[in-house]
Every structure is written in structure tokens, then in C-alpha cells.
């Protein structure tokens, strides 16, 4: 089985090869996990992000981690939930896939994700969690060079949805 773990924690504290940032298309910072990552990484992160000229929803861009314990930050703008009829599910799948492609290209063996789009972007957790774990599992089957992927959940309710999705996958 692919090596996927679900943990409760703060993604800014994780000493892994890459953490993922649930960013917005400007890549210039925001609230939630995005703000926390920029605060912890320091102003050099924003300076590098300014050189990237934004990112489309569902795509991803990579930067260094600066003052974070993680080596890289992979920034991906998740879809805003508009009811499900606007390609939101495929865009969320594309976020997870694009991040893992960049991680593999950059030699990352350990990658931590936050729960993309389920905060202020309002993607329903019961739909987001199976999309996340299913997409990660499919990618890891093709890319054994990535040793471990974790979902770092910030609260118990979120973690419960990802635990259940992983159970249903096994």
C-alpha cells in the first residue's frame, strides 16, 4: 500500500523535504495556512514568490523554504467551491497531482499537504478527503521515489474525514 499518513499538527513545523501551501493565484500570501507559512518562512519567501508572477488554480510552483524546517514550499491555488458544477473536483485532483509532480522533479522524498480548499474556499471535506487520498495513492504507485506523503490536519474534525477516506481506500 502507498505510504500515506494522516496527522494532526501545524504544517509550518514539519521538517520534511517539501510542504504544500494552499495558496491563492497571486502567490503573494493570504490568510489561513498561507499566512502561517509566510510568517514562519520570513520575508524572503514573499520576495521569491513575487518573481513567479502568480499561478493558475490547479497548477503549482515551487520555492525554497527559507526559515521553515522544510526545504521547499510547493504553492498551489485550490479551487473555490461554487457548488460542484464548475470543475472543482477535477481542479482539486490537479492540485495534488501537480504538487507531487514538482516534488518528484525536485528529488523530494517526503511531502506534507494541508487540507487544500477546505478552509475559506469551502470545498466540502467529505468530497475533498477522498479526492486527496485517492490522487496521492495513485501517484505514489507510479512514483516509489517519493517515500512518504502526509496530510497535516489542523483540527480533529478535518483529521477524521481524512482518516475515514484512507480507511476506505485500503
Residues in touch with ligand ADP (CB under 6 A): 10-12, 22, 32-34, 36, 78, 114-121, 152, 154-155, 158
Q: How near is the Cβ of 141 to ligand ADP at its closest, in Å?
A: 26
Q: Active-site residues: which are they?
A: 34
99 neighbors 77 (Cβ within 8 angstroms): no
H-run or E-run covering 18: strand 18-23
The C-alpha atoms of residue 151 and residue 119 are separated, in whole angstroms, by 15
The C-alpha atoms of residue 168 and residue 65 are separated, in whole angstroms, by 33
In the bound state with ligand ADP, the residue whose beta carbon lies nearer, of 63 and 158, is: 158
Q: How near is the Cβ of 108 to ligand ADP at its closest, in Å?
A: 18
In the bound state with ligand ADP, the residue whose beta carbon lies nearer, of 99 and 143, is: 99
Q: How near is the Cβ of 122 to ligand ADP at its closest, in Å?
A: 7
In the bound state with ligand ADP, the residue whose beta carbon lies nearer, of 63 and 118, is: 118
Q: How near is the Cβ of 77 to ligand ADP at its closest, in Å?
A: 8
Question: How many CB atoms neighbour CB 54 within 10 A?
Answer: 16
In the bound state with ligand ADP, the residue whose beta carbon lies nearer, of 42 and 107, is: 42
Cα 139 from chain centroid (whole Å): 14
The C-alpha atoms of residue 35 and residue 66 are separated, in whole angstroms, by 15
Amino acid at each position: 500500500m502507498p505510504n500515506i499518513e494522516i496527522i494532526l499538527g501545524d504544517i509550518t513545523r514539519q521538517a520534511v523535504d517539501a510542504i504544500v501551501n494552499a495558496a491563492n493565484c497571486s502567490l503573494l500570501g493570504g490568510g489561513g495556512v498561507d499566512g502561517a507559512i509566510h510568517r514562519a518562512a520570513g520575508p524572503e519567501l514573499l520576495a521569491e514568490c513575487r518573481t513567479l508572477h502568480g499561478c493558475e488554480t490547479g497548477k503549482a510552483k515551487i520555492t525554497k523554504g527559507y526559515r521553515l524546517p522544510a526545504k521547499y514550499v510547493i504553492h498551489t491555488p485550490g479551487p473555490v467551491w461554487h457548488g460542484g458544477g464548475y470543475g472543482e473536483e477535477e481542479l482539486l485532483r490537479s492540485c495534488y497531482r501537480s504538487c507531487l509532480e514538482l516534488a518528484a522533479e525536485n528529488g523530494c522524498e517526503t511531502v506534507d499537504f494541508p487540507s487544500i480548499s477546505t478552509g475559506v474556499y469551502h470545498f466540502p471535506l467529505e468530497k475533498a478527503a477522498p479526492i486527496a487520498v485517492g490522487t496521492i495513492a495513485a501517484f505514489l504507485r507510479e512514483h516509489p521515489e517519493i517515500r512518504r506523503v502526509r496530510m497535516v490536519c489542523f483540527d480533529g474534525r478535518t483529521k477524521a474525514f481524512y482518516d475515514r477516506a484512507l480507511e476506505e481506500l485500503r
